[in-house]
Amino acid sequence: MADKSMMITDELIEKFRKGMIIKDRKYLSKNYPNCFLGKEAVDWLVFNAGCKNRKDALKLGNDLMDKGVFKHVVGEHKLKDKDLFYDFIINTDSSSPKNLFTRIGGKPAVCAVVDDFVDRLAGNKVLNANPQIKAAFGRVPVPGLKYSIMEIVCQATGGPQTYTGLNMRESHAHLKITESEWTAFAEEFGNTLAKFKVPETERNELFAIVGSLKDDVVTGDTLYARLGGVTAIAAVVDDFLERIVKNPVLNENPALKHANEHASMPSFKYLVTELVCMATGGPQKYNGKTMKTAHKNMNISEKDWVAFAGDFKATLDKFGVPTKEQNELFAIVGSLKGDIVQPPGPKTLYDRLGGFYAIATVVDDFIDKILTDYTLNSNPVLKEVNAKASPPLLKYSVTELVCQVTGGSQRYTGASMKDSHKNMKITDKEWHTFVALFKGTLDKFKVPVQEQTELVGIVATLKNDIVTA
């Protein structure tokens, strides 16, 4: 049960409405206008509604949903403490003082305000000094623009309308709007509200709604915008990747050469474009592997890094990227160096043996030897076990074990040595035969002395679990 501090009141509902960050969201290429995140709602309820913990906040939030305050954007979920999208349920009761849409005069007033506001924007000298904005006003039909903005304002203030246009970030990314242009925009909005004598309370609420869109509208000061957006970045990436896959220095590295020869270039170019766009402030989200994961087995050296940077500089120069933007790009790229250039440490025994291909070959020969050895089969228990054994399974399990103990990424999934040998009554004599057979296999495959010594040392650690007689 919720305590008294968690009871739902009109005051709580109003504060909750004002406390949510309402903005356009996007998931899997689909736009969800004017919504908030479930986990943000839980955050707010924890800190502002007297909830003791997130569990209580979640319960209170679902009580608010049950009262019709808000809903999941597609009606699939109750409130969850996750990045799910929710929007407020529109109050169409024209007598409700809680509805901003109603308090400012409903659709007639919104239409009048927007009509005046857009006309002001179209004539604003500061905004028209931006060539992209000026071109947009010349290209976009003003009646259509007014209609779209009316939809936004009606929905955002609680009206029954639903915004059907692009999300704010997508529709403004190419305009490269700066802080000074945002200020001019806000001033014109204030002038319109003053003209229509919108009361201070409602004016402040409208400015709060508009202010929540700023991060998606002001994109002109980002490196992404200064570079020319996704169009320019994709062209740069295309040229750059063509250079690095052909670079003779980089192709001296066998791992890089293999990666270059087997890469799907269209996919590679797409992912790198996505990464650069996101890192420079664009609306895209990188969906690939982390730099560390993507490069962990490539043994990239300082020499490789210098060659990579040289190709990057050549591409930026080819496209005439200004020095300031080049420096910012190199700073971003430089921040990734620690995850890309990974100085080779001492090789593991697994690597020195040749990995699982070589280990499996050695194990195959060794298992054939011990299954047929006369001395080992003189032990009746061992003879019976060998007769019933599945050689493929035994070879697989031993290969798995040897890979793990020598430093490979494989993980042994069989029984422990103690459990698997506890009833075999293996003697010291049989143990020495086992080791001699192992040594014979290592000699057959010309395993170097250093690696043989390490392998025999590992095997010796198992003796107490194997020799039980």
Same domain, 452 and 394: yes
Q: Quick one: average pLDDT of 205-228?
A: 83
Instruction: Please report whether residue 131 resides in a domain.
Output: yes
Asked whether residue 73 falls in the same domain as residue 149, the answer is no
Supply the CATH number for residue 461's domain: 1.10.490.10
CA distances from 62 to 19, 36, 67, 264 (A): 17, 15, 9, 47
Distance CA 452, CA 124 (A): 81
Task: Decide if 391 is inside a domain.
Answer: yes
Confidence of residue 240 (pLDDT cuts 50, 70, 90): very high
What pLDDT score does 93 carry?
47
Number of domains in the chain: 4
Distance CA 401, CA 166 (A): 56
Sign of CA dihedral 462, 464, 465, 468: positive
Residue 95: inside a domain, yes or no?
A: no
Other CB atoms within a 10 A radius of the CB of residue 314 amount to: 12
pLDDT at 342 over 80: no
Same domain, 243 and 274: yes
Can you tell me the distance from the alpha carbon of 395 to that of 391, in angstroms, rounded to the nearest whole number? 6
Lowest pLDDT segment from 92-106, 182-196, 253-267: 92-106
Say yes or no: 433 and 403 in one domain.
yes
> What average pLDDT score do residues 320-326 get?
91
Domain that holds residue 422: 349-466
Residue 205 maps to a domain = yes
Instruction: Say if residue 390 is in the same domain as residue 298.
Output: no
Mean predicted lDDT score pLDDT of the chain: 86
Cα distance between residue 57 and residue 81, in whole Å: 9
Residue the block writes with tokens 């066998």: 254
pLDDT tens for residues 344-354?
667 789 989 98
pLDDT (0 to 100) of residue 449: 93
Clarify whether residues 125 and 71 are in a common domain.
no
Q: What pLDDT, on a 0 to 100 scale, did the predictor assign at position 98?
A: 61
- State the virtual CA torsion across 342, 346, 348, 351 in degrees, nearest 10: 70
CATH number where 57 lies = 1.10.10.10
* CA nearest to 259, candidates 340, 192, 204: 340
Domain stops at, among 201, 217, 233: 217
Residues 36 and 111 reside in one and the same domain: no
For 93-106, what is the mean pLDDT?
70
Instruction: Say yes or no: 320 and 259 in one domain.
Output: yes
Contacts of 265 (CB under 8 A, 6+ apart): 241, 245
Q: Which of 43-52, 213-222, 318-327 has the lowest mean pLDDT?
A: 213-222
Average pLDDT over residues 178-191: 89
- Give the contacts of 124 (CB within 8 A, at least 6 positions apart): 184, 185, 188
pLDDT at 247: 93
Q: How many Å apart are CA 373 and CA 370, to the nearest integer? A: 5
Residues 233 and 195 in one domain: no
SS3 string of the chain? CCCHHHCCCHHHHHHHHHHCCCEEEEECCEEEEEEEEHHHHHHHHHHHCCCCCHHHHHHHHHHHHHCCCEEECCCCCCCCCCCCEEEECCCCCCCCCCCHHHHCCHHHHHHHHHHHHHHHHHHCHHHHCCHHHHHHHHHCCHHHHHHHHHHHHHHHCCCCCCCCCCCHHHHHHHHCCCHHHHHHHHHHHHHHHHHCCCCHHHHHHHHHHHHCCHHHHCCCCCHHHHHCHHHHHHHHHHHHHHHHHHCCCHHHCHHHHHHHHHCCHHHHHHHHHHHHHHHCCCCCCCCCCCHHHHHCCCCCCHHHHHHHHHHHHHHHHHCCCCHHHHHHHHHHHHCCHHHHCCCCCCCCHHHHHCHHHHHHHHHHHHHHHHHHCHHHHCCHHHHHHHHHCCHHHHHHHHHHHHHHHCCCCCCCCCCCHHHHHCCCCECHHHHHHHHHHHHHHHHHCCCCHHHHHHHHHHHHCCHHHHECC
Confidence bin at 5 (pLDDT 50/70/90)? very low
Asked if residues 157 and 100 have their Cβ atoms less than 8 Å apart, the reply is yes
Tell me whether residue 38 is in a domain.
yes
Average pLDDT over residues 173-179: 79
Q: Choose one of 340, 374, 406: the last residue of a domain.
A: 340
Q: Residue 93 falls within a domain, yes or no?
A: no
Residue 288 lies in a domain: yes
> For residues 419, 424, 427 and 430, what is the CA-based torsion angle, rounded to 10 degrees?
-100
> For residue range 80-97, what is the model confidence (pLDDT) as tens digits?
988 889 988 865 444 444
Tens of pLDDT, residue by residue over 352-378, are 998 888 898 999 999 999 999 998 888
Verify that 117 and 149 share a domain, yes or no: yes
* Whether pLDDT at 445 is above 80: yes
Confidence tier at 116 by pLDDT (50, 70, 90): very high
> Which residues, including other chains, have CB under 8 Å from residue 410's CB and lie 6 or more apart?
356, 400, 403, 404
Share of the chain above pLDDT 90, in %: 28
Q: What is the pLDDT of residue 2?
A: 40
Burial state string for 83-119 with b = 16 or more CB within 10 A and e = fewer than 16: ebbbbbebbeeeeeeebbbbbbebeebbbebbbbbbe
**Which positions ≥6 away from 100 have C-beta within 8 Å?**
157, 158, 202, 205, 206
Last residue of a domain, one of 314, 340, 366: 340
Does residue 146 have a pLDDT over 70? yes
- 457-463: long-range contacts at Cβ-Cβ below 8 A with a sequence spacing of 24 or more? 458/405, 458/406, 459/435, 462/417, 463/431
Residue 446 lies in a domain: yes
Comparing 88-92, 126-130, 452-456, 458-462, which segment has the lowest mean pLDDT?
A: 88-92
pLDDT at 296: 81
> Looking at residue 91, what is its pLDDT?
54
pTM, 2 dp:
0.38
At residue 354, what is the residue type? G
The answer to whether residues 229 and 319 belong to one domain is yes
Are residues 154 and 240 both part of a single domain? no
